[in-house]
């Protein structure tokens, strides 16, 4: 079905910009902070890799229920209101984090974020993006969302590293725990403020878009979506791709413990991988318009498998900075291109637009299951086998999932439906 555009191009641009800012801002506190400053965060909060992984696991368990609960809600209620509330409540959690809570309180905080960032946020974000691209291009819409989020994350991460370094003594290695704690507090406050700002932007820029399907999602409709084979194949694709994405949390620690970089330079390495995200996601979105999103996903899994196997092989050792950086670049291209495309193939799987929220609920419960097991698994491997051995074991697991994703995406591509909407030149 083809719908008429509901607003003019400038308004469309402002709407997708708001979705991009919101889509990244909501995850800055729960994920980006630890991704960039993992070694520092472990020291400041006095937690082990396993304890931090347990907090992520609490988030993941809560998120599993939140995905199913939030999916049908997105088919019933205003995306603008749900997104604004989600962002504001997520920012409140940042104030709790500035108190440097105990490991148990930190786990509770991550459970709270599982509700605010998932039940209230995720399905409305995906539905709003799909609606934005319905007369344009699904690949381009989701590529812009992921790429824009990536550009914002890279800018924010770069600012965070510069600010963090500026707040420490000139020789960061001599910084006391108190100095690093105070610096990290300022970073957390910055992220909380940005998350609140994103809520205001969503409220002002995102139009109220109501369809005839809103408020009518039934159990039978949900069951019909859940029975579609393409939904389950797409869920497998997201699961395998997300394992790769979770592994980027280890990039800065790998740089510190295996390559031998100090904490600031290790953080810069993590930021470098984030700069790949906008280029890979947007580039993949535009290229997918020519060759098809399912085929692009197959190619991305092949790239991810090659990069992760290199990191797992032990061929990269202490002092091999540029070999490590180049491997991270190519691995990150595969990871972030997948993130820009794996929701764009809902149209190829013939999932009805009016049931997008319900489909996203199931896709996310399965696809984001690594939120439950990857944190504890990473923590166990890195604590049980300190140094290079733990990192190698982690990336062998990533390689296994990349190969499984390659198979699932190939089967999906063979079954994919032809496009039903024109693509703008």
Q: What is the CATH number of the domain that holds 123?
A: 1.20.1250.20
Indicate whether 422 belongs to any domain.
Answer: no
Indicate whether 5 belongs to any domain.
Answer: no
Give residue-wise pLDDT tens across range 206-238.
877 654 444 455 566 667 777 788 889 999 999
Q: Are 39 and 266 spatial neighbours (Cβ–Cβ below 8 Å)? A: yes
User: How many domains, in total, are found in the chain?
Assistant: 1
More confident site: 236 or 156 = 236
Indicate whether 425 belongs to any domain.
Answer: no
Indicate whether 94 belongs to any domain.
Answer: yes
Indicate whether 4 belongs to any domain.
Answer: no
Q: What pLDDT is stored for residue 5 in this prediction?
A: 43
d(CA 269, CA 265): 6
Q: Are 151 and 277 spatial neighbours (Cβ–Cβ below 8 Å)? A: yes
The whole model's pTM is what? 0.74
d(CA 267, CA 158): 9
d(CA 153, CA 29): 11
Q: Give the pLDDT band (50/70/90) at residue 407.
A: very high
Of 251, 200, 235, the residue nearest 32 (C-alpha): 251
More confident site: 2 or 217 = 217
Question: What mean pLDDT is reported for the chain?
Answer: 83
What backbone torsions phi and psi does residue 35 show, to the nearest 5 degrees? -65, -40
Q: Are 288 and 344 spatial neighbours (Cβ–Cβ below 8 Å)? A: yes
d(CA 115, CA 415): 34
Q: Give the pLDDT band (50/70/90) at residue 37.
A: confident
Q: Which residues contact 322 (CB under 8 A, 6 or more apart)?
A: none
Most confident of 2-16, 139-153, 333-347, 362-376: 333-347
More confident site: 327 or 175 = 327
d(CA 149, CA 285): 14
Asked whether the predicted pLDDT for residue 173 surpasses 60, the reply is yes
Give residue-wise pLDDT tens across range 247-285.
888 888 888 888 877 777 777 777 777 788 888 888 888
Q: Give the pLDDT band (50/70/90) at residue 1.
A: very low
Q: What pLDDT is stored for residue 2 in this prediction?
A: 39
Asked whether the predicted pLDDT for residue 55 surpasses 60, the reply is yes
Q: Give the pLDDT band (50/70/90) at residue 132.
A: confident
Q: Are 237 and 366 spatial neighbours (Cβ–Cβ below 8 Å)? A: no
Q: Are 230 and 350 spatial neighbours (Cβ–Cβ below 8 Å)? A: yes
225: containing domain: 11-207+218-415
d(CA 132, CA 138): 9
d(CA 98, CA 260): 29
Q: Give the pLDDT band (50/70/90) at residue 338.
A: very high
> Which of 109-113, 212-216, 305-309 has the lowest average pLDDT?
212-216
- Burial readout 367-389 (b: 16 or more C-beta within 10 A, e: otherwise): bbbbbbebbbbbbbbbeeeeebe
Q: Are 356 and 75 spatial neighbours (Cβ–Cβ below 8 Å)? A: yes
């Amino acid at each position: 079905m083809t719908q008429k555009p509901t607003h003019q191009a400038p308004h469309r641009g402002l709407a997708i910009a708001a979705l991009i800012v919101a889509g990244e801002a909501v995850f800055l506190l729960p994920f980006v902070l630890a991704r960039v400053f993992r070694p520092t965060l472990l020291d400041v909060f006095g937690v082990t890799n396993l304890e931090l992984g347990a907090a992520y696991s609490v988030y993941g368990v809560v998120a599993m229920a939140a995905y199913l609960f939030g999916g049908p809600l997105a088919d019933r209620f205003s995306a603008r209101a749900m997104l604004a509330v989600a962002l504001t409540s997520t920012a409140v959690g940042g104030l709790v984090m500035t108190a440097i809570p105990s490991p148990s309180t930190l786990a509770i905080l991550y459970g709270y974020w599982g509700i605010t960032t998932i039940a209230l946020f995720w399905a409305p974000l995906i539905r709003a993006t799909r609606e934005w691209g319905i007369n344009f291009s699904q690949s381009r819409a989701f590529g812009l969302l992921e790429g824009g989020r990536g550009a914002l994350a890279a800018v924010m991460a770069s600012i965070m590293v510069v600010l963090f370094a500026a707040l420490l003594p000139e020789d960061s290695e001599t910084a006391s725990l108190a100095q690093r704690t105070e610096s990290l507090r300022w970073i957390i406050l910055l992220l909380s403020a940005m998350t609140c700002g994103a809520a205001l932007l969503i409220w002002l820029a995102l139009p109220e878009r109501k369809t005839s399907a809103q408020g009518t999602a039934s159990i039978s409709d949900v069951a019909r979506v859940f029975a579609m084979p393409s939904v389950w194949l797409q869920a497998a694709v997201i699961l395998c791709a997300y394992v790769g994405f979770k592994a980027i949390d280890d990039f800065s620690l790998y740089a510190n413990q295996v390559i031998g970089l100090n904490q600031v330079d290790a953080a810069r390495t993590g930021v470098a991988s984030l700069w790949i995200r906008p280029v890979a996601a947007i580039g993949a979105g535009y290229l997918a318009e020519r060759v098809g999103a399912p085929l692009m996903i197959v190619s991305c899994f092949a790239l991810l498998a090659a990069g992760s196997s290199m990191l797992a092989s032990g061929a990269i050792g202490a002092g091999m900075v540029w070999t490590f950086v180049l491997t991270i670049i190519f691995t990150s291209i595969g990871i972030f291109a997948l993130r820009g495309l794996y929701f764009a193939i809902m149209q190829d799987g013939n999932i009805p637009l009016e049931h997008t929220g319900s489909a996203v609920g199931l896709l996310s419960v399965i696809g984001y299951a690594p939120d439950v097991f990857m944190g504890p698994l990473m923590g166990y491997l890195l604590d049980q086998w300190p140094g290079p051995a733990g990192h190698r074991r982690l990336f062998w697991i990533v390689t296994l999932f990349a190969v499984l994703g390659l198979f699932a995406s190939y089967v999906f591509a063979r079954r994919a439906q032809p496009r039903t909407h024109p693509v703008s030149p």
